[in-house]
Each structure stands twice: as C-alpha cells, then as structure tokens.
Structure 1
C-alpha cells in the first residue's frame, strides 16, 4: 500500500509539472508546400515517383508529434498545398504564410529561394525538404531557411570516405545530360579531390538515340572500353536513365557507385539498426510503401518543429529557429547519432547511409575521419569553407 501511494504521489507531481497542466495548450500549424516540377522522360518505369512523395513523411512526422503532444499539452496541424507543374507557386505560398510562419517546402532551388524572399516570409521559418544544391547552403543561403535535405556535397563526401577507407583510389566517371546530373558529377569530383582520390577518366553519356535497354550488351562495352584503369566506376544519373543497364555490361568488371550500385542518400529502406526498422514499419503502415529520402527529410522537419516546441515551449518561429540552431538541440533520427543544425548555414547534420538495393553497407561518417567538434561535419561544407553570410558567422 505504501508503494502504491508513493507511485501515485509521484505521478501526480509529474502531471502538475507537465505542460499539459496549462490552461492554454500550445498549438502549432505547419504548412506543407510542394511545387512539382515536370520530370523529363526516362527509359524505365521501374521506380515511379509516388504521388505522396515527401508529403507522406510530413504526415508521419505530424502523427509522431501528436503522439507526444497529447501528454505535453501541444496540438499540431498540417496544411497541405500541392502545386502542379507550370503553375505559379508564389500566390499559394503567400496564402499559406498568412496561416502559419512554419513551412516545409518541397520545390526546386529557384522556387525555394523565391518563396524565402517573399515579404510575407520575413520572420517565418522554412524547411528545405528536397533541394540539394550547394548554393542554397553557400552564397545563396537565406536566414529563414533550414535544410533538412542533405546537400550533394554531403552525399558525395560520404561515398568518398568509404572508397578512401577501402583504398579504392582510382576512379572513372560517366555522367548523364539530364538536369541534376552535371551538378552531382561536380560534387563527386570535388569530394574525390577532398579525400585524395583520383578520377582518371570522365565521359558524358549523351546517346539519346540509343535504346540502351535493348543494346546494353553492345553499347556499354564500347562506351567504357577506352576508360583509363580504375577501381570503381562512378555514375551521375539522377533520373535513372542509363546507369542500371550499364552494370555487368562494362568492358572491364568494375564496381558501380554514385547514382547506381553503391548509393549515398538521406535514407534507405535497407536501414534496420538504431530503431530504423520501427520507423520503416510505421511509415509503411501509413503510406503503404517504403520510405524514401524525400519522405525522411519531411519527417525530420516536422519532428524538428515538435522537438524544438517541446524544449523551447514556444510556437513562435523566431524562438524555434534560435533553439534549433543552438547547442542544446538534438533530434533522434534513427541513424545512430543525434541530429543537429549547423549554425553557419542551417544544414541538418546527419549520417548518410551507403546502400545497394539489397543491403546497407556503411553509415558515414566512417571511423577515422575526425573533426574538432562534430564528426558529421566531415560531410559537406564545414564552417571555414562556407560562403553563407546570412547566419551571422555562427560556428556551432
């Protein structure tokens, strides 16, 4: 009986201290703004983009926030706006900003920047959930934008750490001609230099007239025959246009990495450790499919809002931003290490999985790649390298 009374008293004291005891619960509304871009035609329909790509992750993040918010006296809501290709995104963005100062944006880089520069976005907090371009985190950064999607440099550095650790130092590269291929190839080349690897040959696949699905056994050997000797063949084919048919059809038997083979990404269905299996299961129950990198980024944005609101006890975007960029913010991201935001450019620090279609190979940063503050800052631009000036020189 004494034990029962003690537990009851402790529980009553906990309830008295909890935020749910407040008369006015904390209410947060987050806006989801998706500006869809027209995708170029590709040869394969094996990997169609889901209609709810990204949005399903935001919905799971909302559900996770609501689960903890019921006890903590918080209410979360999500306003969803999806803009078809070719339509102006700025008017819907203004309307959404009139409802909330918290936006998760899935849009091309130029659209994201235009939204961030709206007068209505002054004082808002915007999360970039899809654009990987370096300039958004560099000279083109905006103080009201935090990046939950990893940069191309983070993904490329993760891959090059792995290749350097394996001492596969001699590389060749083939890049496509679709939007994004050249920038991904540039990020891979920069990361190779950073970690002391050599790209000995670099070619562009521009055989638009060749149906590589039928002619891979003829085209790929000829195309790769004159590449210099290399350990690994890098491919920059972000649309999935040609690289999958080149595997096992090259002149020399070589490993593939980049956009095909061993792929660095924000998230992979092959992740199972650190509670990732549970996150995957909950996502499948909600969306009926595997979680993709865009889904993970959107989920992380919603969870970052929920975590910051709980700790800062505020729904005000400015206070949430200040807390997220501070040293106390941590987000459990199911990747083995707590996630946090870089104070100098607003990028979410996060481990990068390296996986092939049947399994997880490694999680970067790898052991041995050291940093004076945080080993995750070995992925992507570090503070001394950053051209971002909107964050007032933060180095946290």
Structure 2
C-alpha cells in the first residue's frame, strides 16, 4: 500500500513512531559516539540527544562526639544510633534530587570521636579529603576546639547540638553556624506561650548539672522579659547510685526543714506551672507524680516543651517530611534529625544558588540575607548576621502533639520589628558577639 493513500492521521502516527525508534537507537549509543557530530544517512533521520552536565561532587562531613552520659529516667529518651545522621541523609537525598540538574552530586561522610582531641583529628581527616562543610554534633568545648583549628581554613561548621548561650555571645565564631537554638531562644519561646495563656506564676525546679543551671538561668531571664513570676526556685539533687524508685519528688522549699526523704512536701505556695530544668531527663518525666506538690501544668525540659521538632507536627509539609523519614528509617524524626536536615539543606540551597561551589562565595551567601529556607515551619528562615544563629519558629509541644508555635503575638521589639522571630533569644542590640 502506498503511503500517500493512507489517511493523514495514520501518516503522522507512523512518522512519530519512526522518530521514537530512532531516538531510542541514538540514546543507546556510546558516550564516544555521542561526542561525534550528528550524521545523516540517505533517507534517514539523525537526532542529537542533550547530554547531562558533568557532575561536581559536594561532599559534606558529619562529625559526632560520642561520650557516655547519665541514663535518663525512661529508655524512650535514649537516642537511636543514627540520631542526627538520619536527618542529614534525608537532606542529602533532597539535595541530590535537585542537584543532578545543576551538575552537583552530594555525599555524606560520618566521623565519630570520644574526645575534643579525637574530634580535631577527625576534622583534619575530613578537610584533607575535600570536605569544606561539616555538620557537628558535639559539646560546646569540642565545637570551640574544632572552630579554632579551622580558623584559617575553608571550613564552615554547622552546630546541631550545643545550646550554650556563650557560643552566640563572647565565644562566637564566624566559621560556626548555629542550627540548634540556644537556651535563651527555647526559654523565651516557652515563656511567651505561658504568659499568653495567663499562667504567670511559676515554680522552677532544676537539676544540679551545669546544663540544668544554665536552662534555669534562661527561664529566670525569660520570666523577667515577658512577665512571668517566679514563686520559688528549687534544686533537685540526683544522688549517684540511688534507687531508681526514689527519683522524682518535687524538692521541698529550703525553709521547710521538717521534710524527710520518704515524704517531701512543698510549702503552701500557689503556682500555675512547674517549670523543670532537667536536660538529661533524670527526674523531670516523673514530676509531679511523686512526692508533694499541686496538680499543675509541667513545662520546660519535660511535659510542655519548646522544641525545634515534634513527632506530631503536621503543618506546612511536615506530615510528608515525617512520613518520608519514618519510611526510610523505621522510626519517627527527632529534633536532632531535623536540625541535621536543616544543616545539609542549607548547604544544598547555597551551592544551588552559587553553582560554582566557590567556598568564599557559598559561605558569604549562607551568612547573608538572601538565604531562604522553608523547613516545614511556615516561614522563610535564615541565619542572624550578628551571631550566626538560625532564625526559626519554635514549636510548643507535648510528647504527642504541638499546641502552639512561638513567637507569640504581642511581644514586639525595637531592633527588627518586621522579624518576629527575633523576639526569641539574643537580639542584636544586646549581643556581645564580635565576629
């Protein structure tokens, strides 16, 4: 049958099929053949397929300090082995989803250390193998040693663990970006919500560690800033080797001398909230269910907490993020995972915007006002220029669900009134940071 006698539709269909077959043939050619000029045979069609850009590796380091700590009251508070790392891997996956179109191939390399000295050796290893961007899960002293070693090198560190205020103040460093909020930000976020609810009288109970005392100090500062009233401030002293069943009572007021170990009653003081400062979760989860005390809301490091992430968070794309994370890791996302995710996504966003991956240019972009991230909290987020702290809303949540998001409305500030999140933590006029 002659082609010119076929219906027009069939002619077009035959032509499209021929082109598809030829296209598949061309796509199966070797890379060497693809580099050659397109050839046309008599009566044939040659198709030149576009080539993928050459892939530029962007290797990200992950440095985790592993040190023995006190056993929490609940085994549910023990972090899984891949805590943080799993979040970084989720960020790497998202970076590669877009990076392949820009010619960037992201990878994650993990190093562990058990001391500041080992951490510096691990950082040296990562740097010498081509890693300029390092996610750091370590204590404040170790982070400072890493920063000092990296001072004259093309290295940018992303702090996802250390909440110490001093790291954003007198000990701030230009080569450290703080993804994790400091204690002032967390205490301010919680205080705003408590005051907004009208719960202004607080009984503060803190542990005896330096971290617990630091969080207690942050709570006292937040009360003064936002209108909280500290009705009493008591210390819970954990006795090493003591009976686990003895953990948990609210300690008596200091003048209350007649209290004993078996029946610790609080003095007749009224309060709206028990604010707990127990960062290692030694006694906080058991309060106020043992010992005396009034049945009141428990907040702080247990109960109603200020946190960067909640397993029950479902707004602004968080449901999909939690589902994807759970599918990949057979567990729910923790705050440390979310912060590691933000760190790796920060690097991916900056390299995408500055595709030559020149370190000075990428670092300046991360420090500057043009970086805009949206990690499932409703607004664009970036780092504060005066201390390297990540600006971010803070979730106010129970163990199961978020109940609010801070900053709360009605707490204005003078320096950046258009940026509500700057009511949380150290504002620019009060900063001691000199980078």
TM category (shorter chain) comes to: 0.7 to 0.9
Q: Does 1:190 align with 2:221?
A: yes
1:243 matched residue in structure 2: 284
Counterpart CA distance in 2 for 1:214 and 1:151 is 31
In structure 2, do the counterparts of structure 1 residues 102 and 158 end up closer, same or farther at CA, with 3 Å as the change threshold? same
2:337 equivalent among 286, 292, 295:
295
Segments of structure 1 that go 5 or more residues without pairing to the other structure are: 2-19, 391-396
What is residue 127 of structure 2 aligned with on the other side?
A: 97
Query: CA–CA distance in 2 between the matches of 1:357 and 1:130?
Result: 20
Deviation string for 1:157-197 (max 9, x for gaps)?
00000011112111111011235211111111111111121
2:111 corresponds to: 81
Structure 2: distance between partners of 1:375 and 1:229: 33
**Could you say which residue in structure 2 is the equivalent of 1:369?**
411
* CA distance in structure 1 between the partners assigned to 2:142 and 2:248 by the alignment: 37
Q: Residue 160 of structure 1 is aligned with which of 181, 188, 191?
A: 191
What's the offset of the Cα at 1:224?
5.0
Bigger RCO (CA 8 Å, 6+ sep): 1
1:345 aligns with 2:387: yes
- Mapping for residues 243-322 of structure 1, pairs under 5 Å: 243-249=284-290, 250-322=292-364
TM-score using structure 1 length: 0.88
Are the equivalent residues in 2 in contact too, given 1:97–1:121 (CA < 8 A)?
A: no
Q: Which residue of 2 aligns with 1:124?
A: 155
Q: What secondary structure is seen at the aligned counterpart in 2 of 1:264? A: strand
Q: Deviations over 1:47-89 (max 9, x none)?
A: 2211111111111110110111122322111111122468722
- The CA RMSD measured in Å over matched residues stands at 2.3
1:295-320 CA-to-partner distances (Å, cap 9, x unmatched) read 11110000000111111223233211
Contact 1:331 1:339 in 2 (8 A): yes
TM-score (norm 2): 0.80
Structure 1 Cα separation of the partners of residues 270 and 208 of structure 2: 24
Distance in 1 (alpha carbons) for counterparts of 2:122 and 2:116: 13
- Aligned residue for 1:348, secondary structure, equals coil
Instruction: Provide the residue aligned with 2:89 in structure 1.
Output: 59
Q: How many residue pairs were aligned? A: 372
Instruction: Provide the residue aligned with 2:368 in structure 1.
Output: 326
Q: How far apart are residue 340 of structure 1 and its match?
A: 0.7
Q: Distance in 1 between matches of 2:250 and 2:170?
A: 45
